[in-house]
Structure 1
Amino acid sequence: MLSIIISSYQQYYYDQLVKNINETIGDNFIYEIIQIWNPDLMSITKAYNLGTEKTQYENLLFLHEDIIFHTKNWGEKLLNHLNKEKTGVIGIAGSSYVPTAPSSWTVATQYNFVNILQGNKQNTEYKHLYSMTENTMKVLAVDGVFLAIKKEKYIQLRFDENLKGFHGYDLDFSLRASQKFQNYVVDDILIQHFSEGNLSKGWFDTNVAIKLKLGSNFNSYTDSEVEKGVFISFLYRYFTYYLINRTNILFTLKFYPKKLKLKDHVEIMKKYFNYIRHSGDINKKINLTQGNN
């Protein structure tokens, strides 16, 4: 038995998904769908918590509405995964490494595990993203397009309503789940997604807030190359939105990955030097952009 919770604002996609679920979840499979109508009325964290309060079954699935299932009888497959001992969040995309600097779940190719048909809103094309090496992969962070968990475990976590908007809820929820349970990405449930997401300033700021909240003590080892790359990417995004000055430079150093090879430290220091050297032009561009918004 499964309760499916959807924060919805596009009725066409929702209706399409409901029909698709009915046709694919499995004959005689018991489930309910909780729609929380949410055209920017509340954060997705509040919508999901509100939706869960309305559920009656012991297994929960949080879904984006702009998807369809390609797998038949996926309901029982999902319950089989959720019923395994110490299982936390089940997803179809996630990562097994958490870097020191703010980042989404998509950290680096060697740590990302995905099984999804990624398309666009026009449904004119899609591609199969698949990077699984086993049927189930242990992960830390899980993408929010598909998040499943037992209600008894959800109750210990709940979505953090201090996170406003529609970003970061999945990263925060799954990383906190990983501290208590084992999260997995599975390859026997295939969905098609009609959106590639929006990496906006709001998305970036939420990832920074989550990193400040949770830290980065999730890995048993350090991948110097990945840490360097993620931090440099973080610097680029940060100084796209925020001025280069003493206060902001010191703030970025809160996320500096200390366990690096000497050459990686040198490369990062060169990046800082170049940002400071060109700060006049960069800050002028930031001020101009912010003035036009």
Structure 2
Amino acid sequence: MISIIIASADKILLKQVTENIHHTVGVPFEIIATDNSRGEKSMCEVYNQAAQNAQYDILCFMHEDIIIDTQNWGNTVNQLFNTNPDLGLVGIAGGAYKALAPSGWQPFGDINIHMHLLQDYKFAGKERALVKLNPGNQKLPAVACIDGVWFATTKKIWAEFQFDEKTFTGFHAYDIDFSLTIGQKYKIAVTYDVLLQHLSDGNYDRTWVYESMKLHKKWNKHLPANIQGLFYKQQIIAEKLTFKKFTEQLITLKMPIKLAYTILWQYNRYASFSFKLFVKLNFYLLKLQLKKRE
């Protein structure tokens, strides 16, 4: 039995995914869909309220712009938790390394990414593709954080680690924060036994930048999260690429470069992690500023 929780912004998509769930879930279930089309509540608020009202032990949080291809996936999720007592959260995409610099659930450079889905590219303008990334060919690989498009936990674990409504007041970073929170005690993992089609790709905007900076301020002392033990040189590469990508996003969004300096100097984490990298990234920002003045 499973409680399926959806924050809805589109009645057509909600109807489509509801019909899909009825045809594929394969176990007794309920759908708790909250109309949040006006954006009056944050994702954290919607998810906490729905989870509080859920009647079943397994909670599955999902976006409405998906189509699940796997038959009897509800039983698959139940079995994952029944046979893995240390499992706290499971998704279909996740990163085993969470960098110091703001990013999504994965570091840039395709390092230690685990993923299994059919992805549409609404913003990128590319054709749908099956993305299956499984370094090490693991059955249920541990990761640091997962993508919020689809994930499941238990009501007991949610009650222990609820979504942070005070810090995250919008629609970003809630999934990474929830992952890092539960990951302090339980295993966070990606499953390859559930396949879904995601009808749109992510879109980074200014709000994402500020919410992501909140996340990194909150978890500063715990980052980087290196779940599968990247070598130090690999970590340096991941940190460099992720920081530079974050800076490029600031430039694209016409946001001040000083936000990158804030991340770089915040609590001296970069300097203690790698002073050489710290110096190089400062020099990188200086060159960007000088180029901008030309």
TM-score, normalising length from structure 1?
0.87
Residue 135, structure 1, aligned to residue 139, structure 2: yes
- For residues 238 and 74 of structure 1, do their structure 2 counterparts lie closer, same or farther at Cα, with a shift above 3 Å needed? same
Cα separation, 1, equivalents of 2:280 and 2:57 = 50
* 1:139-288 map, 5 Å: 139-162=143-166, 163-215=168-220, 216-219=223-226, 222=232, 223-238=235-250, 240-244=253-257, 249=261, 252-254=264-266, 256=270, 258-260=272-274, 262=276, 264-265=277-278, 267-280=280-293
Q: Which amino acid aligns with 2:129?
A: K
Opposite residue 32 of structure 1, the aligned amino acid is: E
- Structure 2 gaps of 5+ residues are none
Distance 1:21 1:161, change over 3 A: same
Q: Report deviation, 1:235.
A: 2.9
Out of 28, 31, 47, the residue aligned to residue 29 of structure 2 is 31
Alpha-carbon offset, residue 104 of structure 1: 1.1
- Which amino acid in 2 is paired with 1:143? D
Contact 2:90–2:191 at 8 Å: present in 1 too?
yes
Separation in 1 of the partners of 2:262 and 2:274? 19
CA distance in 1, matches of 2:50, 2:143: 26
The CA deviation at 1:257 is: 5.7
Range moving further from structure 2, 37-46 or 220-229: 220-229
- Pairwise CA distance, 1:125: 4.3
Report the equivalent of 2:21: 21
Q: 1:248 to 1:150 in 2, by over 3 A?
A: closer
Residues 174 and 251 (structure 1), Cα distance of their counterparts in 2 relative to 1, 3 Å cut: closer
Count of residue pairs brought into register by the alignment: 277
TM-score normalised according to structure 2 size: 0.87
Percent identity, aligned pairs only, is 30
Secondary structure of 2:100's counterpart equals: coil
- Deviation of 1:59 (Å): 0.6
Task: Name the larger-Rg structure.
Answer: 1
Task: Report which stretch shifted further, 143-152 or 210-219.
Answer: 210-219
Residues 251/87 of structure 1: CA separation in 2 closer, same or farther (3 Å cut): closer
* Residue of structure 2 equivalent to 1:85: 85
- 2:59 aligned with 1:42, yes or no? no
What SS does the aligned partner of 2:75 have? helix
Which residue matches 2:75? Answer: 76
Counterpart residue identity of residue 165, structure 2: E
Shift in alpha-carbon separation, 1:125–1:224, aligned structure 2, 3 A: closer
Amino acid at match of 1:4: I
1:275 CA displacement: 2.5
8 A contact 1:34–1:51 mirrored in 2: yes
Whole-angstrom CA distance in 1 between matches of 2:261 and 2:212? 18
| Cα deviation code 1:233-276 (max 9, x no counterpart) | 2233345544356x9735532263643484x4564243122133
Q: Secondary structure at the match of 1:102?
A: coil
